[in-house]
Structure 1
Amino acid sequence: MPGMRKILVVVVTVAVLAAAAVLLVDVGAAIRSEHRLARALAESPRVPFDPEVTLAGFPFLTQAANGEYSGATIAARGVELPGCEPARGVCRGELGAALGRFRGAERGNFTGSDVLHTSSISAYTRLDAVTLARYLRITDLTVSTPAPDGRAGGGGPQDGVVSRSEGVVFTGTVALPPSDGLDADDPPSASSFTGPKVRVSVAVDLSVTGGSLEIRATDFYTGPERHVDADIPEDMRAAVLDRFSMVLPRLPMAWGLEAQRAESFGGDVQLVGETGAADLRPDRF
């Protein structure tokens, strides 16, 4: 019996090691293919760095053998966006996409000129608060997503909500009376502005107008989430709200998708577009 137990231990050990080796080979192949797809996407002239790529599905080698993949997620950061005044700094955003099942190069040997035949694509263009501040010319702008009514928290995953299109809270400092922020005497830092100013929190609605992001401040925010209370002269209230409202230039999206909706995403704002089956070239991301 002791000998039988030893044999059993050896057999189990060999089986575990063999399974681990297969897993490592599969993971290694997936990582290699993700890198190749990232390099192919970086051939797009507007992608400054290799994007983050994750290929879905397991085992990967089974998919790669015939070029039938379960899906992919892509995040390209640092993409330059149009419409920022040079004095405010370059505006950059994150372009991302999620592909449904798609056909591509076998063995994960992706190149920029390949054609990926995907069943669906969901794309987003995400702007952080720094970029939004440059567009709005409100240098200390912050963005937050309030939790649902009757619930504490900041609208994060713990609240079951990470985004919304109405009632997003923008907080920032504007001059009194409000100006457009383009005056040469208006310094690049709200903290160094010596004239009359006020820091306020406003509720904004996000939408898409002609494919562009529209930000519309609807009222001053006084809800339970973190915010700034300030007394605004009655004759300046509308003008202060207008400083938090604008239609941005039309922003690029992955593979030229059309923006269909706008929403907050934690402390960011994003445009989202979706479509069905499509043929995509990585170098045209």
Structure 2
Amino acid sequence: MKRFLIAVVVLIGLLVAADYGAAALAESAVSRQMRDQLNLSDDPSVRINGFPFLTQAISGDYRSIEVTADRIQIGELDEVQVRAQLRGVEAPLGELLGSGSRTIRVRDAEGTLRIGPDDIVRYLPGVTKVRVENIDENALKAAVEDGGEPSLTAIDPDYAARLVGTVDVPLLGKREVSVIAVLRLAGRQIQVVPRDARIDDGSGKRRPLPAAAQSALQKMFALRIDPGTLPFDVVPTRLRARDGTLEITGTTSNLVFGAGETTTGR
């Protein structure tokens, strides 16, 4: 009995190892396909979700595949992080692991692009050391209580951010400026619309400014970025601040990868 149990455990271990090994090979094949389709210099990270893998591989149907690529060039942006959640993927195992052409079909996908401070700062002349921060209702109320326009409390914090950067202020020298801004999407264009600007008074406190100075600093932080056609032909649906970046999320459907081209049925 003991030997039988040991044999069962060993067999299960071998099956699990074989499952993960096959998944790793398939992930590598998908990664190479994504590299070619997106014209990347390196293979992106690919993860095939769901266990066991082999049952999905035999049918050629995969519930979910995650693709992540860092420091991608999109339009005038140089260091974009791209994440894609591919759902309802059809990819015959023979094609994935074979040496011939591969065709991958995707029912629908959600794509996420993250634009970091290094790209953002290039669109803000006169501003350095930029960072992006999330903002909440309490912060908006505090800004009003500290001299800001009452209309700040009407801003939806889910579609707003605080941009902080260093500016050479006349008579004061280099100071950290904090701007509360509304985030908007106009088609594929990203828009950051400043609503309130504050300056570090030298003690670490952010002070409101007179109207003229307020207007000048807000203009410095106004931002418009048009990245052009996004990977997988994703249509942007949401722009928000996340993890120190501006994050664009969108969806697409009926993708076909293969034969050197990507098509979408949308």
TM-score of Structure 1 vs Structure 2, range by shorter chain: 0.7 to 0.9
Shift of 1:233: 4.2
Q: C-alpha distance in 2, partners of 1:201/1:110?
A: 55
Partner secondary structure for residue 57 of structure 1: coil
**Structure 2 counterpart of 1:142, one-letter code:** R
Closer/same/farther in 2, CA of residues 45 and 119 from structure 1, 3 Å limit: closer
1:104 maps onto 2:91 in alignment: yes
Q: Which runs of 4+ in 1 moved over 6 A?
A: none
Aligned to 2:143: none
**Structure 1 counterpart of 2:26, one-letter code:** S
Which of these residues, 78, 83, 102, is aligned with residue 71 of structure 2?
78
Shift of 1:109: 2.4
**Is 1:37–1:111's contact at 8 Å kept on the other side of the alignment?**
no
The structure with the largest strand share of the pair is 2
Q: Which runs of 5+ in 2 are unaligned?
A: 140-156
Which of these residues, 141, 164, 170, is aligned with residue 171 of structure 1?
164
Q: C-alpha distance in 1, partners of 2:100/2:228?
A: 23
Closer/same/farther in 2, CA of residues 136 and 40 from structure 1, 3 Å limit: same
1:129-169 deviations in whole A, cap 9, x for unaligned?
Answer: 2221222243200112235649xxxxxxxxxxxxx642311
Q: C-alpha distance in 1, partners of 2:10/2:167?
A: 64
Within 5 Å, give how 1:5-16 maps onto structure 2.
8-16=1-9
1:245 maps onto 2:233 in alignment: no
Aligned to 1:60: 53
Q: C-alpha distance in 1, partners of 2:34/2:218?
A: 40
**Is 2:165–2:176's contact at 8 Å kept on the other side of the alignment?**
yes
**Structure 2 counterpart of 1:136, one-letter code:** L
Please, which moves more after superposition, 270-279 or 20-29? Answer: 270-279
Shift of 1:173: 1.2
Q: C-alpha distance in 1, partners of 2:222/2:99?
A: 42
Q: C-alpha distance in 2, partners of 1:254/1:72?
A: 16
Q: Compare relative contact order (CA 8 Å, sep 6+) and give the higher one, 1 or 2.
A: 1
**Structure 1 counterpart of 2:49, one-letter code:** A
1:71-122 deviations in whole A, cap 9, x for unaligned?
Answer: 10111112113336xxxxxx32112211111111324427895332222111
Provide the aligned C-alpha RMSD in A: 2.8
Partner secondary structure for residue 181 of structure 2: strand
Aligned to 2:213: 236
**Is 2:160–2:241's contact at 8 Å kept on the other side of the alignment?**
no
**TM-score normalized with structure 1 length:** 0.74
Q: C-alpha distance in 1, partners of 2:99/2:224?
A: 37
Shift of 1:69: 1.1
Q: C-alpha distance in 2, partners of 1:11/1:42?
A: 46
**TM-score normalized with structure 2 length:** 0.79
Q: C-alpha distance in 1, partners of 2:198/2:53?
A: 49
Partner secondary structure for residue 43 of structure 1: helix
Closer/same/farther in 2, CA of residues 47 and 148 from structure 1, 3 Å limit: farther
Please, which moves more after superposition, 113-122 or 11-20? Answer: 113-122
Aligned to 1:5: none
1:47-67 deviations in whole A, cap 9, x for unaligned?
Answer: 121101011111111111121
**Is 2:134–2:242's contact at 8 Å kept on the other side of the alignment?**
yes
Please, which moves more after superposition, 27-36 or 134-143? Answer: 134-143
Aligned residues: 239
Which of these residues, 95, 106, 130, is aligned with residue 118 of structure 2?
130
Q: C-alpha distance in 1, partners of 2:31/2:163?
A: 34
**Structure 2 counterpart of 1:62, one-letter code:** T
Which of these residues, 105, 108, 111, is aligned with residue 120 of structure 1?
108
Shift of 1:196: 3.1
Please, which moves more after superposition, 255-264 or 41-50? Answer: 41-50
**Is 2:198–2:207's contact at 8 Å kept on the other side of the alignment?**
no
Partner secondary structure for residue 143 of structure 1: strand
**Is 2:121–2:128's contact at 8 Å kept on the other side of the alignment?**
yes
Please, which moves more after superposition, 249-258 or 25-34? Answer: 249-258
**Is 1:198–1:230's contact at 8 Å kept on the other side of the alignment?**
no
Q: C-alpha distance in 2, partners of 1:207/1:28?
A: 44
Aligned to 1:210: 187
**Structure 2 counterpart of 1:103, one-letter code:** E
Q: C-alpha distance in 2, partners of 1:261/1:93?
A: 16
Please, which moves more after superposition, 27-36 or 8-17? Answer: 8-17
Shift of 1:273: 1.0
Partner secondary structure for residue 246 of structure 2: strand
